[in-house]
Amino acid sequence: MDWNAILLPSAPTLELVVRGSITFLSLMLLLRLVGQREAGGLGITDLLVVVLVTDAAGAGMTGDSNTVADGLVLTVTMLFWSVALDAAAYCWPGFARVVKARPRPLIRDGRLNRRVMRREFMSEQEVLSQLRLHGISDPASVARAYLEPNGMVSIIPGEGTRT
């Protein structure tokens, strides 16, 4: 067994860091542009997309590398960027508005927000389904409903509405 071939980096460490950084930041930007509704639950199609994106991105990140050390450098790079972006978003609210999703108002004072629904590709039936899951049958009885950054819908009932 050739331990050097397994444990020593086969590609320059700086190259792995640059590849990992470009891949992570590009995928983070693309996923941010897709919309937050996709973050909620993973279906079969979503799982397939994750696997395919991982496979496609993996080839670009590793290049010709194939050792344990190469994988560790890439993993540390990805974890670094994840923590660094979270820390920067925490310290600078303006930056957080760029990299972090915010709640989007689906219902305001009993009225559906069609612009947000279009942006998130959410039909009226899907919004009504979310209301029913919260025990509400009529959107008019909702003061506010938000599509949260995790893809879930939160609801603030209107005056006199019981939940």
pLDDT tens per residue across span 84-126: 988 999 999 999 888 888 899 999 999 999 999 998 889 999 9
- Report whether pLDDT(46) > 60: no
Per-residue pLDDT band at 18 (split at 50, 70, 90): very high
What are the structural domains of the chain? 3-99 (no CATH), 104-157 (3.30.240.20)
Taking alpha carbons only, the member of 34, 37, 32, 35 closest to residue 130 is 37
Are the CB atoms for 25 and 98 separated by under 8 Å?
no
pTM summary value: 0.64
